[in-house]
Chains A and B, each alone.
Chain A
Amino acid sequence: METITSIKPLLAVLVSLLVVPMLVSSRSPNVREGWTFVAAIIKLAIVASMVPAVLQGMEIVYTVAEVFPGVAIKFRVDAFGMLFALVASTLWIVTTIYSIGYMRGLNEHSQTRYFCFFAIALSATIGVAFSANLFTLYLFYEMLSFATYPLVAHHQDQEARSSGRKYLLYIVGASIALVLPAMLICYNLTGTLEFSKQGIFTGTEPKATMTVLLLMLVFGFAKAGIMPFHSWLPAAMVAPTPVSALLHAVAVVKVGVFSVVRVLTGVFGIDLLARLNLGTIICYIAAFTIITASLIALSQDGLKRRLAFSTIGQLSYIVLGVALLSPKGMIGGMTHIAMHAFGKITLFFCAGAIFVATGKKNISEMVGIGRRMPVTMVAFFIGSLSVIGLPPTGGFFSKWYLVQGTLQADQWPMLVVLLSSSLLNAAYFFPIVYKAFFCTPEEAMFENKIEEAPIWCVVPLVVTAAGSIALFFYPTLFLKLAELATR
């Protein structure tokens, strides 16, 4: 593996940190938003500039400081990290546009604080994407946890306070109680924490130790929403919708699964997991989460809560895909990070647009809303297609690979799980769309005139919906990156 040393990964991380003083000192909201755009575009540019090298199979490395013998704060840009970083930085630009519409549409308070912590959170996300070892990943993971707390608790009321507590309890509690000891035990056993294809273990350690460490690390990264450490996600829906959209559909939760996948592929290594037959345990844990989350989603009336449980299920698709330990499954899981991100963010944008335009949060109150907000609901339909995994949306590809992965790994129960959860996804999405467009005039709760959310809200959701469709026709970039990552 050829490596290039370049400061670009560090710059990609720092761009949004350095823009914070600019945001704080901005004279007017437009200047402030302008700075956010500048930072987001520069970040995407830096990330994109590293794509050609990564596609050729090279890795970009940069060491910041060696803090322990054998462990440094170090960046390594490889295919998998690039996949995630691209998704996150692209969607940040879109979300910033949406945030402007949403926050100004609702005349929200403390917008500067919001944009600052958003920038810090994105910085941490890219940091996780480009981490070269478990320690650096942990560092940025914790940074993300604390940077997103003020965003979750933005409304500063009692509900935000208790949701914030739940958020911290699960995410920080799990990472300190489970990941930190596990990381130290790994370091004590092996002296290194660098991600590598064959893992960091020599293979001579007892199976019980390996199993315990694996479970500690998988459950410890609670941002992945694996049950039973999932309750923070519905609770975090008290946040403003752009926060839920980018962070809890894309950044925070994907950081969680990204970390779990890194643990499976870089710390333990596929071969060791296959030899010790540990993949199956993770498959079943993921399968349980998928089915249970989909079932709970059926019963939720709050639109954002339904989307939250849908996210919990979809995240475990990614974990399942990698835990299958087969190349097709892994490609499926990794591309699902991208496909699901575009689909889910569309759905959340729509939920937020509905709230801004009509003030409604519950599905039962959204009968006939297609008459009033047709563009939004069409986008919602496209987003739900992507999440269910139907053509012509990108989600189809990742589902296709996942199904093939179960066949490749001879895990028939998992195939059943995937197919039945797709049915459940359809069961909780399609009624929303159906009721929005096809209802009797008596049932309709809205008048027949079109009154969409502000333009700043509508454009992003159209863009991401179009993106979901575009990913069906042009999935090659993400597929190639995933395929490189599994080689």
Chain B
Amino acid sequence: MREQYPAIIVVVPLLSALVISAAGWVNKRLCFPIAVAALGVAAFSSIGLLLRVMDEGVIVYQLGGWPPPMGIAYYVDHLNALVLVVVSIVAFLNVIAAKKSIEQEFPEKAAPFYTLYVLQVAGLLGIVVTGDAFNLYVLLEIAALTGYGLLAMGEERAPLSTLNYLYMGTIGACLYLLGVGYLYIVTGSLNMVDIARLLPPLYQSKAVLAAFIICMVGVWLKMAFFPLHAWLPNAYTYATSSASSLIAPLVTKVMVYVMIRLILTVFTPEFVFATLALNNVVVWLAVIAIVMGAILALAERNLKRMLAFIIVAEVGYMVGGAWLGNRAGMTGAILHIVNDALMTLCVFMVVGNIVYKVKGYAFENLQGLFRKMPFTMGAFVVGAMSIIGVPPTCGFFSKWYLILGALQAGHYGFMAALIFSSLVSVVLFFRIFEICYYEPFSDHHGHDHPPEPMDEAPLTMVVPLLIVAVILILVGLYTGDIVNHIIKFAIPEGLV
């Protein structure tokens, strides 16, 4: 069974989606347990896989026993295994919290929702675990299409925002496909490791350069790297909270993973950093992304949109960190995939809880929330600390590595952008804390002023949220272990 983990991780959710769809016909209440079971199995297998990789090193799993380059191989090294664990655990915790929210917002569509949810997760897991470039495109589109379906289930403006996302996402995926096509022309192979083996003599060719740039632009479109980010705020804001708390933490991070995989494994750092020498340009683009994300977030009067722009800034962190071209920066980027997925999950789950109780997410709706929903807001404080970058939450530690990488590369602009973004985050989150804490204003001097009753979200929504908040601190404290035992091996030796 242990050998089959790579396949189980993708196949179980995939088949469960069918089962959920069928079960939904019979009895709607069966959907949730099957979804939880499927994602639980996926989470368990991904943890098992990570432990195996930490013991044995890289694992290559041939689907159906067909050897590459003809067959599709799943290639699991430390990088994938870590991201797999993150994706599956985020999906698992979120589906538990989503139950009440779905019952409240669209109970009649529960079966399709869970089906799409599990399919989406299957797609994302597949993107992370695969070692074949074309297989990645297929899974990319599976994840994308199910994502569109989930996002469109929201309120009034959701279908239009999703349609705009659809255009941009399709262009992104097609560009990636085109890039893979160019690579196939010059190497004749679709297997990532095989391509990496065949590419070095061709580094100077224009086709390889074109392939790289086209692939990068495609991936940047899908991860909402400024200025290709325009689809993200609308798409995530108008979606239903259970969908946005799945998609927001995961999709952009998985795309960052794809970018890092292309840089580290397919095109190798020698090509990307040495031959191309585009580092500086891309890092400056990342600086602009971070600054613009922060500034645009400041302009928002609506909690969800503000968080969406924060995601744009976070993507800037990761792209900049990866393109700094040194080990510290790459460590920071990979660590930030983990940390950002967790902290985005935390804040979006908080939004889910708030929407469940207060039925709105504009700033006016947030008054007095510290009293009404102390546990939710407590977790929100932890998530906010992580986004600001306060130790011992995990966000601080990836920021540390990113700034360290910037210092080592001599890129003070990137360091300044990171500090600027921290300061802006303090303002962003304390604006919200102020509204939740101070308003509505009243005479607070005791004198028989009855405290507002606590009206917390249901347990199935609060407990996963608190678990995530605790994980944020634990991951922060265990950073040393994560970096030394996992991330260190994910980055090739040559990168200093």
Contacts and interface: CB of A to CB of B under 8 A. Distances in A.
A and B: direct contact (Cβ < 8 Å)?
yes
B125 interface: no
Interface string A119-138: 00000000000000001001
B206 interface: no
B480 A176 contact: no
> What 9 A-B pairs are tightest by C-beta distance, nearest first?
A107-B446, A139-B391, A188-B407, A66-B480, A67-B480, A67-B479, A142-B390, A184-B403, A176-B422
A73 interface: yes
Interface residues on B, range: 35 or more
Contact of B391 (A69, A72, A138, A177): A138
B478 interface: yes
Given A65-B480, A142-B390, A153 B437 contact: yes
Contact of B392 (A73, A173, A185): A73
Contact of B480 (A68, A160, A180, A184): A68
B426 A161 contact: no
Interface string A162-186: 0011001000110011001100110
B404 interface: yes
Given A67-B480, A109-B449, A172 B437 contact: no
B423 interface: yes
Contact of A184 (B404, B426, B476): B404
Nearest to B402: A184
Interface in A172-209: 172-173, 176-177, 180-181, 184-185, 187-188
B426 A168 contact: yes
Contacts of B483: 68
A64 B391 CA distance: 14
A185 B408 CA distance: 9
Contacts of B385: 146
A161 to B, nearest CB: 5
B225 interface: no
A451 interface: no
Interface in A37-68: 64-68
Nearest to B435: A161
A369 B434 CA distance: 38
B320 interface: no
B389 A176 contact: yes
A108 B451 CA distance: 12
A177 B438 contact: no
Nearest to A140: B391
B167 interface: no
A279 B438 CA distance: 44
Interface string B384-416: 010011111000010010011001100000010
Contacts of A161: 434, 438
A156 interface: yes
Nearest to B328: A188
A110 B426 CA distance: 25
Interface of A: 64-69, 72-73, 106-110, 135, 138-139, 142-143, 146, 150, 153, 155-158, 160-161, 164-165, 168, 172-173, 176-177, 180-181, 184-185, 187-188
8 contacts: A68-B397, A110-B451, A142-B390, A156-B438, A176-B388, A177-B423, A184-B404, A184-B407
A150 B437 contact: yes
A184 B328 CA distance: 12
Interface in B456-486: 476-480, 483-484
Nearest to A139: B391
Contacts of A142: 390-391
Interface of B: 385, 388-392, 397, 400, 403-404, 407-408, 415, 419, 422-423, 426, 430, 434, 437-438, 441, 444-447, 449, 451, 476-480, 483-484
Given A65-B480, A188-B408, A106 B445 contact: yes
Given A155-B444, A160-B438, A176-B419, A184 B478 contact: no
Contacts of B426: 168, 172-173, 176
A69 B331 CA distance: 13
Contact of B446 (A64, A108, A153): A108
A15 to B, nearest CB: 18
A447 B447 CA distance: 28
A431 to B, nearest CB: 32
B445 A108 contact: yes
Contacts of A150: 437
Contact of B400 (A68, A110, A156, A160): A68
A207 B216 CA distance: 43
Contacts of A184: 400, 403-404, 407, 415
B423 A146 contact: no
Nearest to A173: B423
Given A108-B446, A109-B444, A184-B415, 10 more contacts: A67-B480, A68-B397, A68-B480, A68-B483, A107-B446, A142-B390, A153-B437, A180-B389, A184-B404, A188-B408
Contact of A107 (B390, B441, B445): B445
Contacts of A146: 385, 390
B403 A181 contact: yes
Nearest to B482: A67
A326 B148 CA distance: 69
A158 B441 contact: yes
A235 to B, nearest CB: 15
Given A158-B441, A180-B419, A106 B407 contact: no
A106 B478 contact: no
Contacts of B441: 156-158
A107 B391 CA distance: 36
Contacts of A187: 404
Contacts of B389: 176, 180
A181 B418 CA distance: 10
Contacts of B392: 73, 139
Contact of B419 (A64, A135, A138, A177): A177
Contacts of A67: 397, 476-477, 479-480
A339 to B, nearest CB: 32
B434 A185 contact: no
B462 to A, nearest CB: 15
Contacts of A69: 480, 484
Contact of A164 (B390, B408, B434, B477): B434
Nearest to A136: B391
Instruction: Name, among A72, A150, A172, A173, the residue most crowded by chain B CB atoms within 10 Å (CB to CB).
Output: A172
Contacts of B391: 135, 138-139, 142
Contacts of B400: 68, 184
A296 to B, nearest CB: 28
